[in-house]
């Protein structure tokens, strides 16, 4: 008989314990990277800024896969996406604060 492994889901208590749901690297960033599995719309996410160890909360408007970006401000088509305090691309579609940012609405400026 094979043992079943329980899949841990992010708990409400994680936020109280200071476990971040998303990380921004620089206070200038307008996106943060989701760092937990099972990030769902409606989550009051704890976002930590790693450069200065500050934090804030933002409510997610979309389910967002781990490793994808969360909009920290309203972003319009043509806006520059800032991550690591640097220009990492431009928006090709809009994303409101709390929404998913990835290849469907953001592209690199390199090509």
Kindly report, residue by residue over 22-37, the tens digit of the pLDDT. 999 999 999 999 999 9
- Tens-place pLDDT, residues 13-72: 445 557 899 999 999 999 999 999 999 999 999 999 999 999 999 999 999 999 999 999
Distance CA(18)–CA(77), nearest Å, equals 33
Name the pTM for this structure: 0.83
Domains with residue ranges and CATH for the chain: 17-107 (2.30.130.110)
CA-CA-CA-CA torsion sign (44, 66, 108, 93):
negative
| Residues in a beta bridge with 71 | 31
């Amino acid at each position: 008989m094979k043992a079943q492994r329980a899949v841990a889901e992010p708990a409400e208590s994680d936020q109280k314990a200071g476990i971040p749901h998303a990380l921004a690297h620089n206070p200038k960033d307008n996106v943060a990277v989701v760092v937990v599995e099972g990030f769902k719309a409606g989550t009051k996410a704890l976002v930590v800024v790693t450069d200065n160890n500050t934090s804030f909360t933002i409510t997610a408007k979309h389910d967002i896969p781990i490793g994808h970006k969360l909009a920290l401000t309203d972003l319009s088509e043509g806006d520059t996406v800032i991550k690591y305090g640097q220009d990492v691309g431009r928006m090709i579609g809009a994303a409101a604060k709390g929404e998913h940012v990835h290849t469907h609405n953001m592209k690199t400026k390199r090509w």
